Amino acid sequence: MYLTKEQEGMLDGEEGAVVEKLMRLLVRLGDIYDADKMISVGSVQVAGVSYKSIGDPGLEFLEDFASKGAKVKVLTYLNPAGMDLEDWQELGIPADFAEKQKLIIDAFKKMGIVITATCTPYLAGNLPRFREHLAWSESSAVSFSNSVIGARTNREGGPSALAAAICGFTPNYGLHLDENRKPNFVIDVKTDLKFNSDFGAMGHFVGAAVKNKIPYFEGIKEANTDNLKSLGAAMAASGAVALYHVEGMTPEAGLMNIEGLERIEFGEKELKESYEKLNTGDEPDVVILGCPHASLREIISIARKVEGKILKKPLWICTSRAMKETAQRMGLLDVIEEAGGKIVADTCMVVSPIEKLFSTTAINSGKAAQYLPGFCKQKVVFGNIDKLLEGK
């Protein structure tokens, strides 16, 4: 792989042992995938933040790096942590877990990383541009930035994202290249989709059908960015889909040739079957919304739905700190709390230890429906937001 003088120097230890080690990791990665060179990244999103996911070995690794003076060179955000970093006690998070989680956050802070723990960095101050190269980790954020924004990122692991943040580069392979962004299947959407859960159910079906490949959607009549983030998240979960195109909606769709591609139909029957498959429970202990992290538009809409009511079940809305604070300023937090809900920042239903608190969770996310049974030992009630908030 071609390296510039600066990159050669980093590899030779001119910028210290940490940079040398991480540059080696990037070069090895580039060699494996046959990258021709390194490219600068505009921003990084690092996964592996929750103590639940990385445990003591991850904490020790991060503390070691931070103590050796590792510093990021580009704007770097974090994936959700294992708890609301401010209101964790209120959520019932155990104190020993909280203590470790705070140490992880301290290590990231020392490295100069923005302490915004979210899977929707594009809604919280880190908006890439079309064709900007990134090194993001969390699968729904990767899908959204590639597909809806038209930026370019592979799905980075925790260490490779951290390496890109500290070195400022990533190897040029995979979805950074034009030829790897072409669709492999056309998805013929033959049914109307209204709720995020409809998009999540379709994403679950399509991801499993195309596995690791790139779908091109035809026939989606209307979708906002919240619907698209639900769709992308569910496909990433069921089929590791990191890029999709939607006719007339996503920026690269018009550049793609879909002639002769295999077509897969998604109609009323597939939608119904997907809902049935994702449902594994009956009586929820809690309703948790915001996977991927809720946008302000979603929080406003939930607040309008619950205003003046008392919810039958406790409600959590997972989001970024930035959205929570804006909701608070708008008085939406009070509306939601009066109805019996909470806005939970910095974390989500999958990476926080909810198995210590609940056993059946109601959700409207196609991604969370796939992760909660295994990762959090939950039974899942999967449905649209109106039904969930009515307790049906």
Q: For ligand F3S, give the closer residue by CB, 22 or 368.
A: 368
Q: In the sheet that 75-78 helps form, which strands lie side by side, from edge to edge?
A: 75-78, 43-46, 135-136
Region near ligand F3S per CB under 6 A, out of 63-71, 124-132, 238-246, 288-296: 288-296
Taking the complex as a whole, the smallest distance from the CB of residue 153 to ligand F3S amounts, in Å, to: 15
Looking up tokens 């990767």 gives 142
Is residue 168 close enough to count as binding ligand F3S by CB under 6 A?
A: no
Is residue 376 close enough to count as binding ligand F3S by CB under 6 A?
A: no
3-state secondary structure of 1: coil
Is residue 271 close enough to count as binding ligand F3S by CB under 6 A?
A: no
Q: Residue type at 314?
A: P
Near ligand F3S in 136-165, by CB under 6 A: 138, 140
Q: For ligand F3S, give the closer residue by CB, 136 or 173.
A: 136
Is residue 318 close enough to count as binding ligand F3S by CB under 6 A?
A: yes
Work out the number of other CB atoms within 10 angstroms of the CB of residue 24.
13
Residue 12: left (phi > 0), alpha (psi -120 to 50), or beta?
A: alpha
Residue 285: enclosing H or E segment and its boundaries? none
Interface map 100-119 toward ligand F3S (x if CB under 6 A): -------------------x
Please state whether the peptide bond connecting residue 292 to the residue before it is cis, i.e. omega within 30 degrees of 0.
Answer: yes
Q: For ligand F3S, give the closer residue by CB, 338 or 355.
A: 355
Is residue 292 close enough to count as binding ligand F3S by CB under 6 A?
A: yes
Region near ligand F3S per CB under 6 A, out of 19-27, 295-303, 328-336, 366-374: 366-374
Torsion sign, CA atoms 327, 123, 231, 33: negative
Burial class (CB in 10 A: 0-12, 13-18, 19+), 56: exposed
Q: For ligand F3S, give the closer residue by CB, 7 or 352.
A: 352
- Cα–Cα distance measured from residue 312 to residue 392, given in angstroms and rounded to the nearest whole number: 10
Is residue 226 close enough to count as binding ligand F3S by CB under 6 A?
A: no
Among 10, 78, 291, 362, binds ligand F3S (CB under 6 A): 291
Work out the number of other CB atoms within 10 angstroms of the CB of residue 255.
11
Which residues of the chain form contacts with ligand F3S (CB under 6 A)? 79-80, 119, 138, 140, 233, 291-293, 318, 348, 350-351, 367-368, 371
